[in-house]
Structure 1
Amino acid sequence: MSSSLDPEIAEALAPMADAMAEATPPGVGDIEGRWSQWRHRHQARARRAQYKRRLNAELQP
């Protein structure tokens, strides 16, 4: 089974992907920048997991 992105979603994500491609990662000594990036990714991952748990709980009989 191949994984492909829905064209409509890909179109909506294109501006964000372009902006992210131009961004430079924080420098080695930039502790605050690295922490901020890690925290942002962690919160997004936790939010998705919470939505998934909530959705699964609602679908259970």
Structure 2
Amino acid sequence: MACERWREILSAQLDGEASRSETEAAEAHLNGCAGCRVWFESAAAVTRRARTQLAPRVPDLVEAV
């Protein structure tokens, strides 16, 4: 499936790892591929949720250090 390549680039874009030319080409692909647009929106939502979760409470180790 040709879209797998684009989805890899889009995933790299979400992680800040895609080059400018890859990002531009992937954006152009999104304009013509509804399936990849849906996939990208879903992946972007998952990435946002993963990056914005509250940090778990950890014990205060200042005294021990």
- TM range, smaller chain: 0.3 to 0.5
The structure where helix makes up a greater share of residues is 1
Which one has a bigger Cα radius of gyration? 2
- The one of the two structures with greater contact order (alpha-carbon pairs below 8 A, sep at least 6) is 2
Question: Normalising to structure 2: TM-score of the pair?
Answer: 0.46
TM-score (norm 1): 0.48
